[in-house]
Amino acid sequence: MVFFRSVTALSRLRSRVNQQSGLTNSVRWFQMQSSSDLDLHSQLKELIPEQQERLKKVKSEYGKSQLGNITVDMVIGGMRGMTGLLWEGSLLDADEGIRFRGMTIPECQKVLPAAKPDGEPLPEGLLWLLLTGKVPSKAQVNALSKELQDRATVPDYVFKTIDALPASAHPMTQFVTGVMALQVQSEFQKAYEKGIHKSKYWEPTYEDSLNLIARLPVVASYVYRRIYKDGKIIPMDASLDYGANYSHMLGFDDPKMQELMRLYVTIHSDHEGGNVSAHTGHLVGSALSDPYLSFAAALNGLAGPLHGLANQEVLLWIKNVVNECGENTTTEQLKDFIWKTLNSGKVVPGFGHGVLRKTDPRYTCQREFALKHLPNDPLFQLVSKLYEVVPPILTELGKVKNPWPNVDAHSGVLLKYFGLTEARYFTVLFGVSRSLGICSQLIWDRALGLPLERPKSITMDWIEKNCKKAV
């Protein structure tokens, strides 16, 4: 959130927002201002003192305010529904879905710069928005894209470190290994060892974060080509943006695939701070571990079947549907297969969410992409049938709070259509994307001087003794 210094500036910005068509009232006026300054670091340097003062004011005025009651169910139920983190980049509403700095996905698609008219948002634009709370101009996005390319050189020892692993190692294992090898060049670690003042922590964190974001597609594509394409590496193309370059280095130059990659990276970038990968990155970073160490830890959380690995599980499950029922499966066949999955003690992957109680808007925008680019694809049509069939069954089951599809229910089918068929790799794509949100918050964690995270734990004995007294 940005505060401006004069009534004149305020009036100009309100006028500018009124000229923007198609935005809902939920997009606040100050998010639409677009600076002429092309340097992201300079923008942050100007914003940080204002936000530091804002946090002091929030703490002074609201520090003793209660945000809710903690129950035993929350403590033993994965802290669901428990408010306990400050996360600036995004906020998740159970009914509405994710907002990036107050903006919904459709709103981001309308106002963030794209590579072509009516195209998908450029991930660089979302990174700018997450860090500053401002919608960037196309010139600012182009400058950031160029800066990321300039930062994207990966030392040879990183590749040699990955090569020390067997090619059969899971792609996420190889990816995390590459990230850990990149840590050797951490600017934060160097600055901390030299005795940098804590008020300056954000600056080497910024350098590490942008270097890491820039280099991840290079490392991730190397892992993909090493495992699946006989190690034939494709270099970066200086004429392409972040998402398109990642697609190119993987080996996919179809303009539609490049558009999909821009959309994919954008919508997977952040999902507030309570999910496993985001919370892990914040937690580890709170110990003043540098962004490489923090993000590597986050990736290990993302690799779990209940988090990022779910997008891999969805496509494998859909393949099982096709193998048993065929691509043109009937509704009744689909119902039988779903009940068979549930009765075997398994879940239907891609449905349900820990917070959301409606269809994930990240699913919806991918569905719209499919309707535009691959409406007749048999697997897309199967996903559409699942959208109709699965929720009523999960509702009938009576144990599921959210029977609706999430982001993972759709992404694998889109990737497969354009030729990226290796489901074991999908979580790496998720990891590259999530760096935008986690690294943005790490910068603000250090800028705002957020403390070491240290919640209190209790035992079952404590619960039994103290709750019995309270009854």
Q: Within 10 A of 404 (CB to CB), how many other CB atoms are there?
A: 20
Beta strand ranges found along 175-321 (DSSP E): none
Active site residue 353: yes
Question: Which is it for the CA torsion 179, 184, 189, 191, positive or negative?
Answer: negative
Contacts of 178 (CB under 8 A, 6+ apart): 158, 159, 161, 162, 219, 220, 222, 223
- Of 449, 438, 434, 442, the residue nearest 188 (C-alpha): 442
Task: Please answer whether residues 113 and 138 qualify as being in contact, where contact means their C-beta atoms are separated by less than 8 angstroms.
Answer: yes
HSE value, Cβ hemisphere, 13 Å, CA-based, for 206: 19
Active site residue 307: yes
Q: What share of the chain is helix, strand, coil (3-state, %, to 5)?
A: 60, 5, 35
- Of 395, 394, 423, the residue nearest 408 (C-alpha): 423
Q: Please, which residues bridge with residue 351 across strands? A: 405
Q: CB burial class (10 A; 0-12, 13-18, 19+) of residue 194?
A: exposed
- Of 113, 137, 145, 158, the residue nearest 238 (C-alpha): 145
Amino acid at 141: V
Q: CB burial class (10 A; 0-12, 13-18, 19+) of residue 223?
A: buried
Active site residue 37: no
**Tokens, residue 144:** 């950031």
Amino acid at 143: A
DSSP per residue over 234-256, as a string? ----TTS-HHHHHHHHHT---HH
CA dist., res. 375 & res. 363, Å (int): 15
Q: Please, which residues bridge with residue 114 across strands? A: 121
CA dist., res. 146 & res. 84, Å (int): 37
Q: How many residues does the chain have?
A: 471
- Of the residues 271, 279, 282, 353, only one is catalytic, namely 353
- Of the residues 170, 307, 360, 445, only one is catalytic, namely 307
- Which residues have a catalytic role annotated? 307, 353, 408
